[in-house]
Chains A and B, each alone.
Chain A
Amino acid sequence: MDDFVNTFLNWDYISQVLPDLLKTGLLNTLILSVSSALIGTVLGMLLAVMGLSTKWWLRWPARVYTDIFRGLPAILTILLIGQGLGTLARDVVGTNPYPMGILALSLIAAAYIGEIFRSGIQSVDKGQMEASRALGMSYTKSMLLVIIPQGVRRVLPALVNQFIALVKDSSLVYVLGLLSGQRELFRIGQDLAANTGNLSPLVAAGVFFLVITVPLTHLVNYIDKKLRTGRKVRADDPDDSDPVEIGPGGRVSTW
């Protein structure tokens, strides 16, 4: 038992790593995951709409993009973009790999989120688009005001799941060799663990991840439940028998 506590829960090491986790790690993990979630959501919506277009020159690039970024291991993509593009775009972003890490995470997230949005939009009954077009609304307006709001609502749980994955995957940017002040939770835990040969700092980092992800998991369940039960509110009298007058000269009474 002492061995177990010493290996995973050594308070000396934990108290040593806590300030860094709180001040640097948590902040960087949140910056990395929130910014790539935002960029990924915007790009993902774009990919979804392109993927559903009737025009092949919109559909086809979206398809290829999605296949590539979903098909590669995240760590490989992060290295290729973080180091490769980082070198190429040195004049624009300097030698700082941090924005490249965000870009790589965003591009990966976009592929997954795009598929989530696409399935949501596709699940909307096609009668909704027809009714909207029949009222004189353009395709774009129908998409923006009628189809997308309903499609997105349905896939909110899947979307939040993807955000959870993003929080965890943000730790992979450690491969880009970030500066000390840019380290996220995992890297800070890992550095002290390597220095001390003790796993407790990593356990502490893990707890911080759980502090972010567990509430998100419960958010998923909450939304899921709400979506399933929230619509059961019925009018107090769904009775259809209230007489509808026939206009002047109404020619009929019975069918």
Chain B
Amino acid sequence: MVTTAVRSSSVELRDIHVSFGTLEVLRGVDLKVESGRTTCVIGPSGSGKSTLLRCVNRLQEPDSGDLLLDGESVIRSDPDALRQRVGMVFQHFNLFGHRTVLDNIVLPLRSVKKLSKEEAAAIARARLADVGLADKAPYRPSALSGGQQQRVAIARALAMDPEVMLFDEATSALDPELVKGVLNLMAGLASRGLTLIVVTHEMGFARSVADEVAFMDAGRIVEQGPPAQIFDEPQSPRLQRFLSQVL
């Protein structure tokens, strides 16, 4: 596991609205994640979880609302600078298919952080070792299993030294037997004090790793609290119904 100290930041979303045409996907969402804490976002498909997550690194620009990183508004700042501080891991890994595993990590380090070839390669190898895939450095991503690819994607995001990590259904595309390795890795990051926002269908993970769980439905956060409260004493009928279907 990574042993270096992490610098993490708090994240705050204020009254976020997003519409796609006439469809209101987010209808005024507030979410605060303290530095070093883990928040899991759960809810049915189409509830706006992924859109909310994508607002945090502004892959989705909100129509209105504010985004604060470490207490400062970054809604109008340079998005590329914001994204250097906020790493993201996707459902479908999105490794660069034309590059080797090592080069997938070296490429952004060189092009964004302007590191030399040697510096970048050294960091890339260290992060690959962290996720247990040092020996896969020279392979193409397509030669790796889904779980391995996702771990490379996590290593790639971590190599940029982010203050916050976003996980967008990171295990949904994986075969069941490969899910655990990725979840273990994410739990390790949480315990190291990196700020995590995790959109997930893995209720077991949310219950045992999250500091906070937010339940979304129809573009709003309906209920939010510590996992024990959300899973054992759900208040709203919608959350009760959702839990009865997924647990």
Contact = CB atoms under 8 A, between A and B. Distances in A.
Interface of A: 125, 127-128, 130-138, 141, 145-146, 149-150, 153, 231, 233-235, 238-252, 254-255
Contact of B143 (A133, A233, A248, A249): A233
A239 B143 CA distance: 11
Given A131-B90, A235-B144, A247 B97 contact: no
B164 to A, nearest CB: 12
A234 B1 contact: no
A153 B1 CA distance: 37
Contacts of A241: 177, 181
A246 B112 contact: no
A254 to B, nearest CB: 7
B142 A135 contact: no
A129 to B, nearest CB: 9
Contacts of B14: none
A136 B151 contact: no
Contact of A137 (B92, B108, B131, B143): B108
B80 A238 contact: no
Give the one of A231, A234, A251, A255 with max B CB within 10 A: A255
B195 to A, nearest CB: 15
Given A239-B145, A240-B181, A244-B151, A249 B191 contact: yes
A133 B209 contact: no
B-side interface size class: 35 or more
Interface of A is mostly: loop
Contacts, number: 138
Contacts of B181: 240-244
Contact of A252 (B2, B96, B208): B208
A153 B97 CA distance: 11
Contacts of A149: 98
A233 B140 contact: yes
B59 A255 contact: no
Give the one of A131, A153, A238, A240 with max B CB within 10 A: A240
Nearest to A127: B94
Interface string B92-106: 101111100000000
Given A146-B96, A153-B98, A231-B140, A240 B145 contact: yes
Q: Nearest 10 pairs between A and B by C-beta?
A: A131-B94, A255-B204, A247-B188, A240-B147, A136-B84, A127-B94, A135-B108, A247-B1, A134-B88, A136-B83
Given A135-B157, A251-B208, A130 B90 contact: yes
A128 B94 contact: yes
Given A127-B94, A252-B184, A254-B204, 15 more contacts: A125-B92, A130-B90, A131-B153, A134-B87, A135-B157, A136-B160, A150-B97, A238-B148, A240-B148, A244-B184, A247-B1, A247-B189, A251-B190, A255-B180, A255-B208
B20 to A, nearest CB: 15
Interface in B2-51: 2
A24 to B, nearest CB: 42
21 contacts: A125-B94, A130-B94, A131-B94, A131-B95, A133-B79, A134-B59, A134-B87, A136-B81, A137-B112, A146-B96, A231-B142, A240-B145, A240-B147, A246-B191, A247-B188, A247-B192, A248-B191, A251-B191, A251-B208, A251-B209, A255-B204
